[in-house]
Amino acid sequence: MSDQTRCPSVLSSKLNPYEVALQQFRAAADILELGEEYRKQLEIPMRVMTVAIPVRVDDGRIEVFVGHRVQHNDARGPFKGGIRYHPQVTLDEVKALAMWMTWKTAVVDIPFGGAKGGVQCDPKKMSDNEIERLTRRYAYMVSKILGPYTDVPAPDVYTEAKHMTWFYDTYSQVVGHSEPAVITGKPVIVWGSPGRNEATGRGTVITAVEAAKKLGIDVRGATVAIQGYGNAGSHAARIIAEEHGAKIIAVSDSKGGIYNSDGLNPFKVLEHKKRTGSVVGFDGSRSISNDELLELDVDILIPAALEEVITRENADRIRAKIIVEAANGPTTPEADEKLYEKGIVVVPDILANAGGVTVSYFEWVQGVTRMRWTLDEVRSRLKEKMIDAFEDVYGISKEKKINMRKAAMVLAVQRVVDAIKARGIWP
């Protein structure tokens, strides 16, 4: 999922993201009464690679960056997960995200496991040439554990199609032949998929619409606030407004937010952001903070920034009827419980933002088969996958009287454990 404007990073939080991921897994494991042997297999990543990445920067100096690739579990298929560039990337963050990817691919029932990559750098302070050299060196250093049937990366925070193209080209040079299926999120011209760029936002909207139906909320005219106006957030705003008639009343990015009770034009807001570097200062809006946006009285709240923005400190002040998590891990476990008690439906990240990895799967299939799908085909297949997954999770939530995150985790963990049992242990 290429994303997104950033809110405060995970390092500013008191919570360790890996501990959050473990808490969520253990809660599902308790419900499923999993044995210790499965708990240990799924709590510990199958492989962790940390590399020192030397890069010659534009002034001739050599800087060394730290990069990670964590492969959590491949019982259901090749490892799958994005690569993020951020100055505060940590190994624990990458481990958490890799685990979440295992659950995400299982929830939408695609034949992948979970992985994640990250490089600790500040791409905003680097030239394109420096970022290309960093990307190619990182790709070379982790290439020995990647492959179209082994581990298939994708974009994430501060990475996008051009980074994936450099990665694809570097890997192809290493193995001696063109291999477009080694990575997803590429431009269509080099075996990317139509609809991949919008996929995370579109999947978010599909689940938001389904949740609204369950609550009897008409999305046409429903009020929406979106924290984070990068790839996922801006596409979600466009799609829910243009195709479903919702009213976007607030959006934000790392520099602040904007509000207009009469509604914001998502296209014009995006043009303003591209022109000025932020949504802040958009004509006809008033400024609000990211914290204020989260607490607005809206029908649908879409957190599309970084982790842990809805916490036990602000959960009591959240007034949205539905929260749809376009970001990874925006809600802490304590906040989850408070929101559930208040009757707020939270569509969890491993379901809500799985549109990106689902269309990545479609791209992988197209790369492996060298067959091209149309945009309409991709959108239709995505909608079918997301609705099926939503209904599965919602059904478990109602049956077991648990919130949707626990329901999604129960579904995902059960599917992974079933695959482990079926495959057995070798030798």
Catalytic center residues = 116
Q: Give Dmax (Cα) for the chain.
A: 66
Q: Point out which residues pair with 80 in neighbouring strands.
A: 152
Helix (H, G, I), strand (E, B) or coil at 59: coil
**Calpha distance 347→368 (Å, rounded):** 32
What tokens appear for 321 in the block? 């009827």
Question: Comparing C-alpha atoms, which of 407, 409, 427, 405 is closest to residue 417?
Answer: 409
Residues with Cβ within 8 Å of residue 22, at least 6 apart in sequence: 43, 99
Distance set, CA 324 to CA 297, 345, 354 (Å): 15, 8, 12
Residue 166, classified by CB atoms within 10 Å of its CB into exposed (0-12), middle (13-18) or buried (19+), is buried
Is 256 buried (19+), middle (13-18) or exposed (0-12) by CB count in 10 A? middle
CA atoms lying within 13 Å on the CB side of residue 8: 12
> Can you say how many angstroms the Cα of residue 313 is from the centroid of all Cα atoms in its chain?
24
The dihedral through the CA atoms of 45, 70, 111, 383 has a sign that is positive
User: What are the start-end ranges of the H helices in 224-346?
Assistant: 231-242, 266-276, 290-294, 333-341
Alpha carbon distance 386, 86 (integer Å):
29
Q: How many angstroms separate the CA atoms of 142 and 146, rounded?
A: 7
**Buried b / exposed e along 308-318 (16+ C-beta atoms within 10 A):** bbbbeeebeeb
Strand-strand pairing, 322-324 and 300-303 = parallel
CA 353 vs CA 164, 249, 360: distances in Å: 20, 21, 12
Phi-psi label, residue 221: left if phi above 0, alpha if psi -120 to 50, beta otherwise? left
Distance CA 158, CA 402 (A): 35
